[in-house]
Amino acid sequence: MPEEELEILRRQYAKDPSDRDAASRLAQAYTDLGWYNEAGDIYRALLASYKDDYSILLDYGNLCFRRKNHDEALKVFKRLTVLKPNRLEGWNNLGIVQLTMGDQDAARASFDKVLAIEPDNHGALLNMGDYYDRRGETAKAIELFEKAVEARRDFSDGWFNLGNAYASAGDHARAVDAYRRALRIQPEFPSALKNLGFAHEQMDEYDEAEECYTKALELNRTDASLYVNLASIFAKQRRYDRAKDYFLRAVKLSPREPAGWMGLRHLSLLKGDIPTYVKSTLAILHRLDAKTIAESVRKLRELEYWEGVDSIVQLADKLKVEGVELDAERLVAYARGRKNHPQCAGLYQRLASSAPQSSAVSACLAEYEFVLGNFTKALTYLEHAPKNDLPMLKLFWMSLIGLKDWDTAESSLDDYLHGHKDCFVAWFLRARIMAALDRMDEAKASLVRALENGFTDLDAVKSDAKLKKLYDDISSGF
């Protein structure tokens, strides 16, 4: 609002503060400018004289809601429904406040009142759809959002919410259509552009996703999540340098938000830059929850990057981060560093007696037993290992080898290699078994397959005298 117009409203109000219309106009102007304290003072003064004025109460209730003073807004809108129970605004706004405050059943009752008065009210249909969406009843939410846009075809918020509901249901193609309809009505709609980009991304349509995210960024350059979204699609396309640039922009714009940092960590892992992954994890460890920290340690443990495991566990200990899966990773880290670590016994007893155990905890208990040489006990935790979980299968095979149960180990490895012919870990372990059984031709063939598919742990090869000789023979042959 131009300063001259605002000054006129102020003079009119100063001339007669009891003038209802002059006071209402100035209060609304202050509200539009975001001067909520000034607007609130005027509304409260007005209501002292016009306590049952519906329009003043409505404007004041809306102001309270915008200020997030939900208790006061609730009281005001309830009063409106008593004053004029057949007016839509009071019931509709009351339902919105109730939904915001988490009183979902009360919100539904309020929206039902609106629809009883006007069955095709697009706003109430939208709000009722939000009610079901928050309850996780996506199909019912979609039904109501569809009715809302049928009632009003130029309802951009309705199309936007419908798109979100389709996306929640996994129907990204229909979500794309709904978002596009919202944008035809309201071209400068950053959230619709952002969600349209995400829908395209889910369908691996990266060029379209990039275009949408870029347009949304032009409308809202302070949204750090858009930089993260762009970086993510660049990473998926292996455009790693550009991905890194956009993750760094997100971190610079919003350093307290973990998304940018998490993206940098993920990017380091994709590039195989494990030291950088560890450094970026340590940099934001205080922002991560226990489960995320445990997952980070697990990745490093599976890569056998023990230096990184120890660094993260030590900092987590210093920060006193607690969690069941993190404790399981602690158990393995302590045991690998020192088999008689004083905390291992207590951790193991607590984890082993807990029920039910997640697969992550079971894997750690199995590895702990393996480190101690208790191969039979390790196998008890690996009995139900997922068929495609290679780290757990590797531990299963190594435990069988530790027990010299060659037949079971060979059979399991052969079954796995039948569908995973390029798994160098499995080929190497098979070579170990064949060498132990003095089936040297098969051992040599398996070792060659391991090396051809990328096996590089020469220390493991040279620690076995028979395999070392085979490796030397193979190398001299090359």
- Tens digits of residue pLDDT in 171-222: 999 999 999 999 999 999 999 999 999 999 999 999 999 999 999 999 999 9
CATH topology of domain 404-478: 1.25.40
What is the pLDDT confidence band of residue 424, given thresholds at 50, 70 and 90? very high
Residue ranges per structural domain of the chain? 404-478
Mean pLDDT within 152-169: 97
User: Given this model, what pLDDT does residue 1 score?
Assistant: 64
CA distance 165 to 379: 45
Three-class HEC string of 13-78: HHHCCCCHHHHHHHHHHHHHHCCHHHHHHHHHHHHHHCCCCHHHHHHHHHHHHHCCCHHHHHHHHH
CA distance 188 to 257: 26
- Please state, as a whole number, how many other Cβ atoms lie within 10 Å of the Cβ of residue 404: 11
- For residue 355, the 8-state DSSP code is S
Mean pLDDT within 433-460: 94
What is the pLDDT confidence band of residue 477, given thresholds at 50, 70 and 90? low
Residue with the larger pLDDT of the pair 245 and 384: 245
Distances (CA, A) of 361 to 296, 298, 311, 337: 14, 11, 20, 19
Put simply, whether the predicted model's pTM sits higher than 0.75 gets the answer: no
Mean pLDDT within 311-327: 96
User: Given this model, what pLDDT does residue 338 score?
Assistant: 85
What's the CA angle centered on 51, arms 47 and 53, to 5 degrees?
95
Find where tokens 């530790």 sit: 402
Q: State yes or no: pLDDT of 421 exceeds 60.
A: yes
CA distance 251 to 232: 14
Closest CA to 114 of 141, 85, 142: 85
Mean pLDDT within 444-463: 93
Token pair recorded at residue 116 = 């009883």
34: alpha, beta or left? (left if phi > 0; alpha if psi -120 to 50): left
User: Given this model, what pLDDT does residue 101 score?
Assistant: 94
User: Given this model, what pLDDT does residue 276 score?
Assistant: 87
CA distance 425 to 389: 13
Percentages helix, strand, coil for the chain, rounded to the nearest 5? Answer: 80, 0, 20
